Structure 1
Amino acid sequence: MTRFILSRVGFGLLVLFLLSVFVFVLFYVSPSDPARIIAGDKATEELMAQIRVKLGLDQPIYVQYLNFVGNLLRGDIGFSYRSGLPVSDLLYARIPVTMSLVFGAVVLWLAIGIPIGIASAKHPGSLRDRFGQGFAIVGISFPTFVLGMMALFLLYFLPTKAGVTLFPPGGYVPFAQDPLGWAWHLILPWTTLALVVAAVYARLTRGQMLEVLGQDYIRTARAKGLTERRITYTHAFRSAMPPLVTQLGIDIGLMLGGVIVIEQVFGLLGVGSLAVTSVAMQDRPVVIAIVLLGGVFVVVANLVVDLLYAVLDSRVRTAAR
């Protein structure tokens, strides 16, 4: 088991190393000049030369890369070209917003999608199944920004026009400052994101459960007189979980890098909105930090998924020995 964990950690570190090389080449070896971006189009050559020396851009490429990696390992991501603030401070202010949005939505979409998928699989062809498949098709087809705008119109604009305030239009309140206000401001973003993603999990759960419920050992369990509830949740759902865990790890890792559409619709100042602003303003240090942060989230999420595989599937534990 230890060898299995070390191999997964080593592979994750290799992925992060390759990502750092790719990002460095893309942003520092590309034809555009960072000094020109900082100084502006009307800057003199002397000023740009001073900026290059200050940023270390006058040194050989390999020295620049080593300095780049060394600074990353120390947590020094540099300063924003536009605001002049440390990039780490910008990220620390935005990460709690994105994490609150993602993890709250995860709880909702699992609570919605998995029960619908299980109910559809237990009663194939029934009204429940048709409802579940209809929910999945509609949810997958609906863009998140459309659902978000509909939620704002129906649950904020119309009630407010009638003199009733049900939900705020957006914004973020820190959990430590006001837990109830934190949840109140995030209900609409949570629900919007959860309904779209829950459709994927409902469809995936249904497909996996149908496959597992047709296995011989399930028929044997029924012949032994086990209750349908125990067969469904103790035997069938446990066997259907690995693909769901894989999808969950991918979704969480990607979304922690920024839920751009939802953050823009509801005015949440998270990592996604910071990424949009930084790309538009060509703020390279911030863009680099967001790309690397997203890579770290994906690698960590996949590592957790691999460990859960070992817990859920005894064959993985046996192969890891």
Structure 2
Amino acid sequence: MIRYVLSRVGFGLLVLFLLSVFVFVLFYVTPSDPARIIAGDKATEDLMNQIRANLGLDKPLWEQYLRFLGGLLQGDLGYSYRSNLPVADLVLARIPATVSLVFGAVIVWLAIGIPIGLASAKRPGSVRDRLGQGFALVGISFPTFVLGMLALYLLYFLPTKFGMLLFPPSGYVPFAENPLQWAWHLALPWLTLALVTAAVYARLTRGQMLDVLGEDYVRTARAKGLTERRVIYVHAFRSAMPPLVTQLGIDIGLLLGGVIVIEQVFGLQGVGALAISSVSMQDRPVIIAIVLLGGMFVALSNLIVDLFYALLDSRVRTRAH
């Protein structure tokens, strides 16, 4: 098991290393002057020289990369000359909003999608199954921004016209400042993101459960007289979980890199909103930091998924030895 964990950690570090090389080549080894792109067209020559000295652009490429990598390992993501702030400060200020949005939505979509998928799989073709598939079809078909605007119209605009404020329209309140306000401001974004994603998990859960329920060991468990609840939740669902865990790891890793649409619709100043503003301003150091941050989240999520695989499936632990 320890060998398996170390191998997965090593693979994750290799992926991050290759990503850092790719980002360095993409943003620094270009025909144009990196200092000019970072500083902007209106930068003075003194500022350009300062940037070249800070980045070591007069050094060989291998030395520039080692300097770039050393800064990353020390938490130095560079300096934003467009915002006149360290990139790490800009990114760290946005992470709480994105993390709060993603993990709150994860809890909601799992609480909605998995029970619907289980209920559909218990009696295929029943009314309950058709309702569950209808929910999944509608949820998958709705674009996120449309659902977000609809939620704002139905749960904010219309009640406000009648003098009721059910939910705030936008903004983010830090959890440490006021937990109730934090949850109140995130309720609509959570619901919007969760409804779309819950539809995917409902279909995935249903499909996996239907495959598992046809296995011989499930029929044997029923023949032994085990209750249907025990057959479903102890035997079948455990075997159906690995694909769900894989999908969950991918979704969390990608969303932590910035939930661009939801953050824009609800005015949440998270990593996604920072990415959009950085691209529009051509703030290259911030763009680099967000790309690397997204890669780190994906690698970390995949590592956690692999560890869950080892816990859920004894065959993985056996192969690890």
1:259, distance to aligned residue in structure 2 (A): 0.4
Aligned to 1:315: 315
1:73-152 matches, within 5 Å, as 73-152=73-152
1:32, distance to aligned residue in structure 2 (A): 2.9
Per-residue displacement from partner, 1:30-65 (whole Å, max 9, x unpaired)? 223232234443556565344322332121111110
Aligned: 1:173 with 2:148 = no
Instruction: Give the distance between the partners of 1:115 and 1:226, measured in 2 at CA.
Output: 21
- Is the contact between residue 39 and residue 81 of structure 2 (CA under 8 Å) also seen in structure 1? no
Instruction: Give the distance between the partners of 1:238 and 1:104, measured in 2 at CA.
Output: 24
Greater displacement, 29-38 / 71-80: 29-38
Whichever residue aligns with residue 315 of structure 1, its letter is R
Instruction: Say how many residue pairs are matched.
Output: 321
Greater displacement, 32-41 / 271-280: 32-41
Per-residue displacement from partner, 1:256-290 (whole Å, max 9, x unpaired)? 01000000000000000001111111111111111
Aligned: 1:265 with 2:265 = yes
Q: Structure 1 pair 176/46, CA: closer, same or farther in 2 (3 Å)?
A: closer
Instruction: Give the distance between the partners of 1:229 and 1:54, measured in 2 at CA.
Output: 64
1:317, distance to aligned residue in structure 2 (A): 1.1
Q: Could you state the TM-score of these two structures normalised by the residue count of structure 1?
A: 0.97
Aligned: 1:206 with 2:206 = yes
1:22-41 matches, within 5 Å, as 22-41=22-41
Instruction: Give the distance between the partners of 1:207 and 1:104, measured in 2 at CA.
Output: 25
- Is the contact between residue 38 and residue 285 of structure 2 (CA under 8 Å) also seen in structure 1? no
Aligned to 1:306: 306
- Stretches of structure 2 lacking an aligned partner (at least 5 in a row): none
Instruction: Give the distance between the partners of 2:264 and 2:47, measured in 1 at CA.
Output: 37
Aligned to 1:291: 291
Instruction: Give the distance between the partners of 1:55 and 1:241, measured in 2 at CA.
Output: 47
- Is the contact between residue 137 and residue 199 of structure 1 (CA under 8 Å) also seen in structure 2? yes
Aligned to 2:55: 55
RMSD over aligned Cα, in angstroms?
1.2
- Is the contact between residue 155 and residue 166 of structure 1 (CA under 8 Å) also seen in structure 2? yes
Q: Secondary structure of 2:202's partner?
A: helix
- Is the contact between residue 144 and residue 261 of structure 1 (CA under 8 Å) also seen in structure 2? yes
TM superposition outliers: structure 1 runs of 4+ over 6 Å:
none
1:148, distance to aligned residue in structure 2 (A): 0.1
Aligned to 2:195: 195
Q: Secondary structure of 1:267's partner?
A: coil
- Once the two structures are aligned, what percentage of the paired residues are identical? 80
Whichever residue aligns with residue 11 of structure 2, its letter is F
- Is the contact between residue 120 and residue 130 of structure 2 (CA under 8 Å) also seen in structure 1? yes
Q: Structure 1 pair 40/8, CA: closer, same or farther in 2 (3 Å)?
A: closer
Aligned to 1:240: 240
Q: Structure 1 pair 81/47, CA: closer, same or farther in 2 (3 Å)?
A: closer
Aligned: 1:21 with 2:21 = yes
Q: Secondary structure of 1:167's partner?
A: coil
Whichever residue aligns with residue 131 of structure 1, its letter is L
Per-residue displacement from partner, 1:109-135 (whole Å, max 9, x unpaired)? 000000000010001000111111111
Q: Structure 1 pair 49/98, CA: closer, same or farther in 2 (3 Å)?
A: same
Instruction: Give the distance between the partners of 1:232 and 1:200, measured in 2 at CA.
Output: 20
Instruction: Give the distance between the partners of 1:116 and 1:304, measured in 2 at CA.
Output: 25
Q: Could you state the TM-score of these two structures normalised by the residue count of structure 2?
A: 0.97
Instruction: Give the distance between the partners of 2:103 and 2:165, measured in 1 at CA.
Output: 26
